[in-house]
Chain A
């Protein structure tokens, strides 16, 4: 996202007059004036020393960076405010609509950095939504497909086709053969009519000869057409397969921050939808379009040579046919899109009521839901009926406009035949050529649309393929046998760089130590763990394992020694065995069972009819949340990791099972560096130290006893949870009482 626009000349001059030689570091336009009216001549410029507001080509106000005690972009409803605090007073500096909100958030962060005297500037990783050149929406790509030029398109198409160059050459030959044959067929007919039929000079043998040769021509053109179509279909599929594979490989390599920016649905769309577009385009172009264009040109030349007046007459009809089809299709597209909208609305209404049927019934709202649906249904039916009637009424006009061309040729050609300047055979040839000239026009009218759709698809595909991997492998990756010392050094990170989730986190973890991570939801606990797993790289600071920067450790080496159990357990479609072995594909059955026992999964797996061979995942057996979590724990155990990450690992289990698994986990974490997030603090009772994250920073860190003495956030959390448990069960003498299934007294926090 551009944070330093180029100022127009008058603005630049008045800025120069005001700030002298200082160069703009950030320069962003704003679109709302102080009264909240749209405006288009406002700019906020930040130089090394000043924040300047330019309006009406004049510097309207300026604040020195050193006077900005605070700089913030306040999000309002549908708009935003850049607020600067000077001499203890919050002041509105500029207003803007949502279109500029992200930019001003970056700008505010930039002002804060400048004020702190930091050298670095904020960079935006977000892509623009609108092409700065043509003003069209970018289809989720960095480069505008419409502005990138046709050179780029042909280059990329060429790139995709290159491996199959010979096959395409073959297709081209077949195409020419088919065209030549259809041209010759009409030519041969003419000769037969002029030389045999009209002079009545031939006998049965000529007619049989004619039949045989015509049959031969038809057969040959049939064969070449079949071959050509087969080849193009195969080629199209192969090419789209190539693209899909490239895309899939690339997406696996790409960092999460790229994938976060696009939804899973959108990426699936690119892999399946966009490649299909490209395939269809190739098939259409090579099986039909090119040969049709070649045919049209050849036909027209031959017609010109034969009789240029009639040929021009035939040509005159071409724009008429194009216009008629174009107008008709445009109108019908509009109609069918409206129908599609009503279908969508009806479907979502159905979806809504049916998935919420329990609520509808329990509130007794059936009648009003039925009424709502009836109205929608009626509207949909009306639209459908109207559209069908429209189609049935007006489609014949297209056929008529094509037919019209042929009538005109027959009429004028007929006059020429009577006048003697054209033979009857030539006329028939003309008529069949006219058919060849007009037939493809219907499709050609939509070539521009098809082309632009393909360009967009290709751009969307290459947008992924050209993306640089953001978490790149180090050039000299270190193979490390991890002991488990983890060092977090002044880590800052935000999914959007203007909006930090973690700030200045430092922690030194000894090998084998267990760190419990505590904090309110949204405090950044899971983010911290994502950084330790290196799903993202920190914006500032670094993480080391045994003194080696996480970025330097070889990918395989790191992940083979890292075990993860997450809040949401995702099982891939496949057997339980395959899911367990995901971490260690060569694990023996004994190891698998041992791991399942530790994870508390063995028992329920054995009770399933198919045991470890039970198929799970999207279309397979549905396991409960607790069962999935136990499999995830077993999966982590099987990998025998040196560093273990537990993000609410036992949250979906009932208290009793949780206790059992906690016991097992207690054994598991012996000697392994462990990071555990938990809301139920009792699960952290084995933790050597507790890290409390609050407001993006480390609030407290220390052993349970230390933090309890401190009476800070942790103390509050523990007291509240304990009190809640006490409310559940009347407390026995002394404060040891807690919910059912809790550990024996005295064992909870030690």
Chain B
């Protein structure tokens, strides 16, 4: 038949299908990483290298699955292209040195300053201008008056400024009443 010739036979076609089936299967299963099956090392350039399942990735990215609720559990390790290599169930599954290495790597990837002190919030024409002290130092930022604040819980807030930087208030009741009054209008 004419098509038979074009496809180069049923065999090759089924090979392609088989490949894709395996890829799909691999995508669906969880590969846990722990101190026995993976090796981490710091690269000269300040990134982290990982050897796992016979492959070496020169620059891994650590993605937190639950960045707000369980920052040290379920860490998805991905390669430069963003494909998942494996998951670390608990950070404590790794050796002390590796834990430190990955913690530093996560600090590189996640930037979410925690607001500790509110100096002032000024409101002008639909935007609020904040002057605060965070755990990363003092800073000023600007928010739109619409949808800038996301409530993680009744007391925990994440505020997003116009550039997309985010700031966390871990517990609003840890702020002084005066500070709460300043931000009251926005939360």
A337 x B46 contact (CB < 8 A): no
B109 x A76 contact (CB < 8 A): yes
A723 to B163, CA, bound (A): 47
Residues of chain A within 8 A of B112, CB atoms compared: 77-78
CB of A521 to closest CB in B, whole Å = 16
8 Å CB contact of A720 from B16, B127, B162: B16
Please judge, given known A-B contacts A38-B136, A76-B108, A90-B45, whether A736 and B165 are in contact too, CB under 8 Å. Answer: no
8 Å CB contact of A77 from B109, B139, B142: B109
Interface flags for A108-126 (1: CB within 8 Å of B; 0: not) read 0000000000000000000
CB of B11 to closest CB in A, whole Å = 11
> Is B120 part of the contact surface with A, judged by Cβ < 8 Å?
no
Residues of chain B within 8 A of A79, CB atoms compared: 110-111, 165
CB of B2 to closest CB in A, whole Å = 6
8 Å CB contact of A36 from B3, B4, B108: B108
A130 to B162, CA, bound (A): 9
A37 to B113, CA, bound (A): 9
Residues of chain A within 8 A of B7, CB atoms compared: 708, 719, 722, 735
B139 x A129 contact (CB < 8 A): no
Which residues in window 109-139 of B have CB below 8 A to A? 109-113, 124-127, 129, 134, 136-139
> Is B22 part of the contact surface with A, judged by Cβ < 8 Å?
no
A37 to B161, CA, bound (A): 18
Residues of chain A within 8 A of B126, CB atoms compared: 139
A36 x B6 contact (CB < 8 A): no
B16 x A91 contact (CB < 8 A): no
B44 x A98 contact (CB < 8 A): no
B2 x A746 contact (CB < 8 A): yes
> Is B89 part of the contact surface with A, judged by Cβ < 8 Å?
no
A743 to B25, CA, bound (A): 33
The size class of the interface chain A forms with chain B is 35 or more
> Is B35 part of the contact surface with A, judged by Cβ < 8 Å?
no
A720 x B165 contact (CB < 8 A): no
> Is B176 part of the contact surface with A, judged by Cβ < 8 Å?
no
8 Å CB contact of A136 from B58, B59, B124, B161: B124
A98 x B17 contact (CB < 8 A): no
> Is B10 part of the contact surface with A, judged by Cβ < 8 Å?
yes
A735 x B4 contact (CB < 8 A): yes
A95 to B46, CA, bound (A): 12
CB of B118 to closest CB in A, whole Å = 16
A453 to B142, CA, bound (A): 19
Residues of chain A within 8 A of B124, CB atoms compared: 136
> Is A749 part of the contact surface with B, judged by Cβ < 8 Å?
yes
Residues of chain A within 8 A of B52, CB atoms compared: none
Which residues in window 505-559 of A have CB below 8 A to B? none
A83 to B44, CA, bound (A): 13
Residues of chain A within 8 A of B184, CB atoms compared: 338
Interface flags for B139-152 (1: CB within 8 Å of A; 0: not) read 10010100000000
8 Å CB contact of B125 from A81, A85, A89, A452: A452
Which residues in window 1-49 of B have CB below 8 A to A? 1-4, 6-8, 10, 12-14, 16-17, 20, 43-47
Residues of chain A within 8 A of B139, CB atoms compared: 38
B16 x A78 contact (CB < 8 A): no
Please judge, given known A-B contacts A136-B124, A453-B125, whether A734 and B163 are in contact too, CB under 8 Å. Answer: no
B111 x A97 contact (CB < 8 A): yes
A722 to B134, CA, bound (A): 57
Please judge, given known A-B contacts A38-B139, A76-B108, whether A99 and B163 are in contact too, CB under 8 Å. Answer: yes
> Is A456 part of the contact surface with B, judged by Cβ < 8 Å?
yes
A36 x B17 contact (CB < 8 A): no
A77 x B136 contact (CB < 8 A): no
A711 to B13, CA, bound (A): 10
A453 to B124, CA, bound (A): 11
A90 x B47 contact (CB < 8 A): yes
A37 x B44 contact (CB < 8 A): no
Residue ID in chain B nearest A79 by CB atoms: B111
Which residues in window 40-81 of A have CB below 8 A to B? 76-79, 81
CB of A685 to closest CB in B, whole Å = 12
> Is A366 part of the contact surface with B, judged by Cβ < 8 Å?
no
Residues of chain B within 8 A of A736, CB atoms compared: 1, 3
B4 x A734 contact (CB < 8 A): yes
Residue ID in chain A nearest B166 by CB atoms: A78
B43 x A716 contact (CB < 8 A): no
A36 x B107 contact (CB < 8 A): yes
Which residues in window 10-40 of A have CB below 8 A to B? 32, 36-39
B111 x A32 contact (CB < 8 A): yes
> Is B164 part of the contact surface with A, judged by Cβ < 8 Å?
yes
A716 to B15, CA, bound (A): 10
B138 x A38 contact (CB < 8 A): yes
B13 x A98 contact (CB < 8 A): no
8 Å CB contact of B165 from A78, A85, A95: A78
Residues of chain B within 8 A of A137, CB atoms compared: 127, 142, 144, 162
B17 x A720 contact (CB < 8 A): yes
Residue ID in chain B nearest A335 by CB atoms: B185
8 Å CB contact of A337 from B6, B17, B185: B185
Residues of chain A within 8 A of B44, CB atoms compared: 89, 91
> Is A705 part of the contact surface with B, judged by Cβ < 8 Å?
yes
Residues of chain B within 8 A of A215, CB atoms compared: none
A77 x B110 contact (CB < 8 A): yes
Residue ID in chain B nearest A99 by CB atoms: B163
A136 to B129, CA, bound (A): 8
Residue ID in chain B nearest A100 by CB atoms: B163
A91 x B45 contact (CB < 8 A): yes
A749 to B3, CA, bound (A): 9
Residues of chain A within 8 A of B2, CB atoms compared: 746
Residues of chain B within 8 A of A334, CB atoms compared: 185
Residue ID in chain A nearest B2 by CB atoms: A746
A723 x B45 contact (CB < 8 A): no
A99 to B113, CA, bound (A): 14
8 Å CB contact of A719 from B13, B58, B161, B163: B13
CB of A70 to closest CB in B, whole Å = 11
> Is A92 part of the contact surface with B, judged by Cβ < 8 Å?
yes
A65 to B45, CA, bound (A): 17
B127 x A37 contact (CB < 8 A): no
A95 to B165, CA, bound (A): 14
B111 x A37 contact (CB < 8 A): no
Residues of chain A within 8 A of B17, CB atoms compared: 719-720, 723
8 Å CB contact of A98 from B16, B107, B110, B163: B163
Q: Beyond the given A38-B136, A734-B4, A735-B4, could you list 15 further A-B residue pairs with CB under 8 A, ordered by the A residue number? A: A36-B107, A36-B111, A77-B111, A78-B164, A79-B111, A79-B165, A91-B45, A92-B47, A95-B108, A97-B111, A99-B165, A101-B164, A139-B126, A456-B125, A708-B8
Task: Give 20 CB contacts A-B under 8 Å.
Answer: A32-B111, A37-B136, A78-B110, A78-B166, A81-B108, A90-B58, A91-B45, A98-B165, A99-B163, A99-B165, A135-B129, A338-B184, A341-B185, A708-B8, A711-B8, A716-B16, A719-B13, A723-B14, A734-B4, A736-B3
| Complex A-B, nearest 7 residue pairs according to Cβ-Cβ distance, in ascending order | A91-B45, A79-B111, A78-B111, A38-B137, A98-B164, A99-B163, A92-B46
Residues on B facing A (Cβ under 8 Å): 1-4, 6-8, 10, 12-14, 16-17, 20, 43-47, 58-59, 67, 107-113, 124-127, 129, 134, 136-139, 142, 144, 161-166, 184-185
